[in-house]
Structure 1
Amino acid sequence: MSRPRFLSFTRNGRAGYGLLAGDGVVDLSARHGARWPSLREVIEAGALASLVDEAAALAADHALADITCEIPIPAPEKIICVGVNFPDRNEEYKDGKEAPPNPSLFIRFPRSFTGHGQPLIRPPESSQLDYEGEIVIVIGKPGRRIAEAAALDHIAALSLCNEGTLRDWVRHAKFNVTQGKNFDRSGAMGPWLIPFTDEAQIADIALATRVNGETRQSDRTGRMIFSFRKIISYVSTFTTLVPGDVIVTGTPTGAGARFDPPIWLKPGDVVEVEAEGIGTLRNTVADETAMEET
């Protein structure tokens, strides 16, 4: 039996959220939007499970073909990304160093992501758009200095991310990668949220990225350098995690930058990020248009 899948979407200019039902969506925002404007507020209220029960008796309100998928949490307080979190990815640096004791972190803004089925946007400033398939955890229970033993109790849901990167722009400064990680709609998140109920959902699952049907990245979460527990505990040491916060947990080796010569994404490419039990995030690639530049 498939797990419940919560979608954030727009339809006829209206933002909403709902639960996938076959080839359609039960529009829960039409019923609860005044109380919970987005899935962030639903998560904060701890209401995912009750909405699953409610939707079980309802027919779909909209066909999937009539909606546009958006990033699952439209306005999270924080999007925190983990860099270099698989052994083979660490070895790419060829500096002879073992994995560091703590994760490397950086911040992304919601505007830098687009939803499932929408194009990743290659900006005119760079042709070096690259892909990074990753698993996303969404915080449901607030906390500061969370112990590793209790960390998974703070997860509300799971999703996927293509953490699109402009490679030359991550080298524009000496110490940070912020510029190359935050071009508008250069990455994607979705297609939905899967409620988190059990550690087995993430403990050792396959994660893969395909470009035009060719597998470029493939690994398992059981090989991550920093576990989901460690990431939550470490991040919560310096900042309070709150419901709706998004943590992007790291990508395997195999990004386009690691080919010789590098293989950058180009308009018309199709990129798919897939993880067991979560689903497949699919996006095409397009150039930014003159209208979008202004």
Structure 2
Amino acid sequence: MTRARLVSYSRGGKSGYGLLRETGIVDLSIRHPEWPTLREVIEAGALKRLVDEAQGLPADFAEAEITYEIPIPAPEKIICVGVNFPDRNEEYKDGQAAPPNPSLFVRFPRSFTGHGQPLIRPPESKQLDYEGEIAIVIGKGGRRIPEAYALSHIAALTLCNEGTIRDWVRHAKFNVTQGKNFDSSASMGPWLTPYEDEAQLADVSLETRVNGEIRQRDRTSRMIFSFRKIINYISAFTTLVPGDVIVCGTPTGAGARFDPPIWLKPGDVVEVEAEGVGVLRNSVVNEEV
């Protein structure tokens, strides 16, 4: 079954959003000026309404005419979970069991680019790495959300290549912020898949490929911290609001873990795929300075 695919895009110098169908894009933003982006659609609780509305409408233009943007262009928060698969914890070789609570850090929207757009390797470092992940988008906000009800706060799913400049995450004694926030070093998309039921997250295959070679593969059923736990834990210290994005962790197999490490280089193509969500694809280029 093909689930609904809601895309954010630019076309002709203007931003918009719509439903991707086999025949092209149904432009929903022009029909709903009251909601400038998908963030406002989610805040209004109108994702399902828009999907239903688009079913009876013809495509307004071809997919080839758009440039994909990140699905939520200006979320209040992008919070990322580190070390959330068993083998990732073992990669650290510190002899320690997985911690009782998730490791977290934040990213800025500008550090992400859309599906089909190049990841930018900056001149400051050649250590650009990939991390394929599933991301959840909050639909119903809240504080101290109980685990039992946590999944009802999800509006949609998307994918993330949580690109990292490895040597910059070790520049100081206690930080990862710099290496996680170089402009356009990561990607998100291609679209939002509306969340409907727990089966969409319970045991999903997640895979990352570089130039067609499988580098990462695991299943969400093996996550150390479940989606329920992640939402519960984060909402204990900050109020989640509609449109917030939570990036939920990557399997083992990032380039830094090879001996010697294998960094992304210009011309490489990275694909992140999850069952029922889609494939996020990006090439790699050097930054022009």
The TM-score normalised by the length of structure 2 is 0.99
Note if 1:188 corresponds to 2:184: no
Q: What is residue 205 of structure 1 aligned with on the other side?
A: 204
Q: For residues 78-117 of structure 1, what are the structure 2 equivalents within 5 Å?
A: 78-117=77-116
Q: Distance between the aligned counterparts of 2:23 and 2:128, measured in 1? A: 32
Q: Which amino acid aligns with 2:229?
A: K
Q: Distance between the aligned counterparts of 1:212 and 1:23, measured in 2? A: 28
Q: Distance between the aligned counterparts of 2:51 and 2:179, measured in 1? A: 38
Aligned 8 A contact 1:130 1:265 in 2: yes
Note if 1:56 corresponds to 2:55: yes
Q: Distance between the aligned counterparts of 1:134 and 1:176, measured in 2? A: 21
Report the secondary structure of 1:208's partner residue: strand
Q: Which amino acid aligns with 1:44?
A: E
Q: What is residue 223 of structure 2 aligned with on the other side?
A: 224
Q: What is residue 127 of structure 1 aligned with on the other side?
A: 126
Q: Which amino acid aligns with 2:12?
A: N
Note if 1:28 corresponds to 2:28: yes
Q: What is residue 9 of structure 1 aligned with on the other side?
A: 9
Alpha-carbon shift at residue 173 of structure 1 (Å):
1.3
Aligned 8 A contact 1:273 1:281 in 2: yes
Alpha-carbon shift at residue 23 of structure 1 (Å):
3.9
Deviations 1:169-196 (CA, angstroms, capped at 9, x unpaired): 0001111100000000000000000000
Q: Distance between the aligned counterparts of 1:106 and 1:23, measured in 2? A: 39
Q: Distance between the aligned counterparts of 2:9 and 2:3, measured in 1? A: 19
Report the secondary structure of 1:82's partner residue: strand
Report the secondary structure of 1:65's partner residue: helix
Q: Distance between the aligned counterparts of 2:154 and 2:175, measured in 1? A: 28
Q: Distance between the aligned counterparts of 2:213 and 2:23, measured in 1? A: 27
Alpha-carbon shift at residue 12 of structure 1 (Å):
0.7
Aligned 8 A contact 1:9 1:70 in 2: yes
Q: Which runs of 5+ in 1 are unaligned?
A: none
Report the secondary structure of 1:29's partner residue: coil
Q: For residues 168-187 of structure 1, what are the structure 2 equivalents within 5 Å?
A: 168-187=167-186
Note if 1:237 corresponds to 2:222: no
Report the secondary structure of 2:30's partner residue: helix
Q: What is residue 154 of structure 1 aligned with on the other side?
A: 153
Q: What is residue 265 of structure 2 aligned with on the other side?
A: 266
Aligned 8 A contact 1:21 1:59 in 2: no
Q: Which runs of 5+ in 2 are unaligned?
A: none
Q: What is residue 72 of structure 1 aligned with on the other side?
A: 71
Q: Which amino acid aligns with 1:96?
A: G
Alpha-carbon shift at residue 7 of structure 1 (Å):
0.0
Q: Distance between the aligned counterparts of 2:276 and 2:64, measured in 1? A: 23
Q: Distance between the aligned counterparts of 1:35 and 1:93, measured in 2? A: 48
Report the secondary structure of 1:26's partner residue: strand
Alpha-carbon shift at residue 138 of structure 1 (Å):
0.1
Q: Which amino acid aligns with 1:253?
A: T
Instruction: Give the 3 Å change call, closer, same or farther, for CA 23–165 of structure 1 in structure 2.
Output: farther
Q: Distance between the aligned counterparts of 2:64 and 2:23, measured in 1? A: 8
Deviations 1:5-36 (CA, angstroms, capped at 9, x unpaired): 0000000110000001114110000110x200
Q: Distance between the aligned counterparts of 1:169 and 1:71, measured in 2? A: 24
Deviations 1:145-189 (CA, angstroms, capped at 9, x unpaired): 000000000000000000000000000111110000000000000
Deviations 1:54-95 (CA, angstroms, capped at 9, x unpaired): 101111111111000000000000000000000000000111
Q: Distance between the aligned counterparts of 1:145 and 1:174, measured in 2? A: 31
Q: Distance between the aligned counterparts of 2:245 and 2:11, measured in 1? A: 24
Q: What is residue 214 of structure 1 aligned with on the other side?
A: 213
The TM-score normalised by the length of structure 1 is 0.98
Q: Distance between the aligned counterparts of 1:23 and 1:8, measured in 2? A: 17
Aligned 8 A contact 1:188 1:283 in 2: yes
Report the secondary structure of 1:169's partner residue: helix
Q: What is residue 282 of structure 1 aligned with on the other side?
A: 281
Structure 1 residue runs of 4+, over 4 Å off?
none
Q: Which amino acid aligns with 1:178?
A: T
Q: Distance between the aligned counterparts of 1:249 and 1:3, measured in 2? A: 21
